[in-house]
Homo-oligomer: A and B are copies of this chain.
Amino acid sequence: MNSGEIARLAGVSVRTLRHYHQVGVLPEPHRRGNGYREYTVGDLILLLRIRRLTELGLSLEEIPPLLSSEESGDVLQRLDDELAAQIALLTARRETIARLRATGARPDAPPDFAAFTTPGVTPAAARQDGDLMILLHHLLDEDGRDAMAGYLAAFARPGVLDTVTDLTNRFAALDAATPPAEIDRLAADALAAIPAVGDRIPRLDAPRVGELFAAYRDLAFNDAQRAFLDRVADGYGDGHGDGYGDGYGDGLGAG
């Protein structure tokens, strides 16, 4: 058989044949006078064996010992374990995707925090909000995430959601043209609303959180918004914020 014929019979490309020769899983066959390779049924069977093994998920490097020796050892056990692990990974991805699709959240959102979405919020505010959630989710540990998820879930309570949406949009609208009185009113309204969204606000005491939140505040918000955040942090007092009160305020203001 020529290259083309054995390739067709085995259902592989000629390039695949060449590759198998190069890496040594399939020996180079005899050449005819014109340089053409001349394959035998033995080569075809060997090729089919190699294909069966690659289709099980084995690498070409793992194959030669399996072709020659009588004992396959624990290869199948090992392969099965690997496959189980891969399937578990892919299944976890599907679960994440299912949760994202159920909440309609953006694809890069942490689904743990996505139960809470405010449909009435401006796109820009929603984006900042989502960004902060991603940062927070990554920095927190299990406990911190659970606490935060519970806190955000409280926002979704009927009645509360409208208030939060309103506060968020008013926050997003703050800029240099905003009269100081509106900042005061917004701060007062925000502080008044806080008891409604949950009795206990989670402590975000993971390392770096406060510092990074402060940096985000300086990066993403304007003077009016920062003034509001300071006002809210002050209104809170030290009992909660504990050193990163302003970073904390960010989460509130944008969330």
Contact = CB atoms under 8 A, between A and B. Distances in A.
Interface of A: 9-11, 40-42, 44-45, 48-49, 52-53, 55-58, 66-67, 70, 72, 75-77, 79-80, 83-84, 86-87, 90-91, 93-94, 96-98, 100-101, 106-110, 123, 131, 134-135, 138-139, 208, 212, 215-216, 219-220
Given A44-B212, A107-B53, A216-B41, A97 B84 contact: no
A215 B9 CA distance: 14
A4 to B, nearest CB: 14
A48 B135 CA distance: 7
Given A79-B97, A100-B76, A215-B40, A135 B45 contact: yes
A94 B80 contact: yes
Contacts of A108: 49, 52-53, 66-67
Contact of A219 (B42, B123, B208): B42
Contacts of A11: 138
A57 B219 contact: no
B215 A123 contact: no
Contact of A45 (B10, B83, B131): B131
B97 A87 contact: no
Contacts of A97: 56, 76, 79-80, 83
Contacts of A56: 93, 96-97, 107
B134 A40 contact: no
13 contacts: A9-B139, A40-B215, A41-B135, A41-B216, A48-B138, A49-B131, A56-B97, A66-B107, A66-B108, A75-B107, A76-B107, A77-B101, A80-B94
Contacts of A67: 108
Nearest to A58: B107
Nearest to A220: B42
A125 to B, nearest CB: 12
Contacts of A77: 101
Q: Which of A67, A93, A215 has the most CB of B within 10 A?
A: A93
